[in-house]
Amino acid sequence: MTAIPIPNETLNSDTSTGTVPDYDVIIIGAGFSGIANLHRLREDGLKCHVFEAGSDFGGVWYWNRYPGARVDSETPFYQLSIPSVYTTFNFSSRFADHKEMRQYMAHVDKTLNLRKDVDFNSRVNSCTWDEGSGMWTVRTENGKSGRGRWLVLASGLLHRTHTPTFPGIERYKGVVHHSGAWPEDLSVKGKKVAIIGAGATSVQIVQELGKEAEQLTMLMRRPSYCLPMGQRQFTKEEQDAWRGYYPMMFEAGRNSAVGFPTKRMGKSVQEVEEEEREKHWEETWKQGGFHFMLQNYNNVLLDPEANELVYNFWKKYDPPVVQKVHARMTDPRKAELMAPSTAPYYFGTKRSPLEMDYYEILDQPNVDIVDLTASPMSTFTESGIQMKGEDSPREFDYVVLATGFDSFTGSLTSMGLKNKDGVDIKEVWGDGVKTYLGMMMHGFPNAFMVYSPQAPTALSNGPTILEAQTTFICDTIVALRNQGLKSLEPTVAAEEEWKTAMNAMNEYTLYKYTDSWWNGSNIPGKKRENMTFIGGIDNYEMQCRSKMAGWIGFDVVPASGAAKVKMEEGSSAKEGRAEVHHIESIVA
């Protein structure tokens, strides 16, 4: 069970005296990223403090309690590579659910004695830099505060929920819940439920509510291309036997493109005969998880013809082999909606959710699918939703908003984070995201981001990429302290080079043709742009580490107050173009 937060009065910050406590490092967020940085920096002898909006550890796993919420990265890779933690915790299955993830977080807390350095229920609303003292001051909505030489922003990739503006929703008298704020024990038995959205969250919810609701209606614009999860139970004995190999497995994941030590085929789809190709696809399909994409041919995300062949395999009806989508649905209308004859977007260019019985649930008579491109929502009514072209409203007791998140930037632009000139990051990023290495920003000295935009984040196993970034951040902070430097921030030129190089890699792929939260196009008014470094974790970490020697691309200010030193710019753009040769590392 999850740990119970200790009273605020026993935590480090103290508002009763009006003083602002000083720390070496302030960390915002107590999910995987915040925990990883807190643990490592404490080991380095730094005094740290964490502000967390929730009432316990977990980040996304604190907030996400909707039916079916489950990880899509498999055991043992979806955990921190901290020996004292992974040697003393057993997961019950290949893909843990949200309840077990909170049990894991409680175990991490207890093992590492974390909560003494955390203020819970403390949503940050102000982060400001004082040039004179070289300190960040952080304040929260509940009056907590702290100052630190370094600031680590670990506020999450998918935290800021997105609720579209629906006409007439204020008139609706039923119950509306966003997936990111779901009452954990809510039952919909005997109820009529609408779920708006068909992405990864919707897939998980449909699988559960379709078994319980009297009537479930999924309103979607585009179907997800789901892959088989291949879920199975794990025993303690099985994990004990494997645990000795964990260090090597974690290292192999870290040295891979996506955090899983798998290998992409070194050939294109067209280089092999159809029979050989089909055999390979069948084998990787049966493995479950993301292996179908991870071990696919090297031009699937580069060549439209190759991509179409993969899509056709995914949707086909072919009883002698493992059944795909059309073979699992008896209703031809529903089958065509979920796996159209012509692909609505390139396979792998948006997230492919993992499913267990999704298509069978959709095929049930108590489940309906509404194609919003053919029958858009007109307005909410008091009792439901009126669709255009239909004579009467559809009545619903509950409406579930699986409408996603303001990804990458949403949590960062809603905490009052201002640069050294007092300009909010919302304005700084008004015309697009600007970072260096996906971890630092010009105008924000000594501030670091984890699980961030312009890094391999969306295409990686979460714990692996955030540990790679954590290592860089913590090593940088220790080096700055040892070298007696007051502050470090990227130059404008370094940011421009990083973005140019990152976009140069993306230009050769099919990603750019698909709208999704990966490029911010799911949020009205948000700039559509590439926010993912697609060259893989291994190449990303190598590039980041190469910038530390001589602080290439950074302005450095000595603690003595001497004039800042502008380091020579690196060759990020050239390196980015060179990464085109590593495009086979791209994964969905």
Q: Decide: pTM greater than 0.85.
A: yes
Beta carbons of 193 and 398 less than 8 angstroms apart = yes
Both structure tokens of 207? 């699988």
Query: Could you give the CA distance from residue 424 to residue 417 in angstroms, rounded to a whole number?
Result: 6
Q: What is the 3-state secondary structure (H, E, C) of 18-42?
A: CCCCEEEEEEECCCHHHHHHHHHHH
Q: Spell out, as residue ranges, where the chain has pLDDT lower than 70.
A: 1-18, 317-323, 561-588
Q: How far is CA 210 from the centre of its chain?
A: 26
Query: Could you give the CA distance from residue 250 to residue 439 in angstroms, rounded to a whole number?
Result: 22
Instruction: List, as one string, the DSSP characters of 515-530.
Output: -SGGGTTTSTTSPP--
Encode burial over 169-189: b for 16+ CB neighbours within 10 A, e otherwise. beebebebebbbebeeeeebe
Compute CA distances 169 → 175, 177, 217, 219, 370, whole Å: 11, 12, 17, 16, 19
The pLDDT value recorded for residue 18 is 63
Residue 479 parent element (H or E): helix 462-482
Query: Could you give the CA distance from residue 86 to residue 72 in angstroms, rounded to a whole number?
Result: 19
CA atoms within a 13 Å half-sphere pointing along the CA-CB vector of 481: 16
The gap between the terminal CA atoms of the chain, to the nearest Å, is 33
The pLDDT value recorded for residue 318 is 55
Query: Could you give the CA distance from residue 161 to residue 306 in angstroms, rounded to a whole number?
Result: 35
Reference 29, options 449, 407, 532; nearest CA is: 449
Is the alpha carbon torsion for 145, 147, 153, 154 positive or negative? negative
The pLDDT value recorded for residue 563 is 54
Query: Could you give the CA distance from residue 114 to residue 106 in angstroms, rounded to a whole number?
Result: 10
pLDDT tens for each residue of 306-322? 999 999 999 985 544 45
The pLDDT value recorded for residue 322 is 56
Is the alpha carbon torsion for 545, 417, 150, 113 positive or negative? negative
Compute CA distances 463 → 108, 158, 459, whole Å: 14, 14, 12
**Domains in the chain with CATH codes:** 23-160+407-585 (3.50.50.60), 161-225+351-404 (3.50.50.60)
β-pairing verdict for 135-140 and 118-119: unpaired
Q: Backbone phi, then psi, for 552, in 5-degree steps?
A: -70, 125
Reference 253, options 101, 466, 506; nearest CA is: 466
Beta carbons of 217 and 194 less than 8 angstroms apart = yes
Encode burial over 210-227: b for 16+ CB neighbours within 10 A, e otherwise. bbebebbbbbbebbbbbb
The pLDDT value recorded for residue 265 is 93
Q: Find the DSSP H helices in 288-340.
A: 291-294, 304-315, 332-338
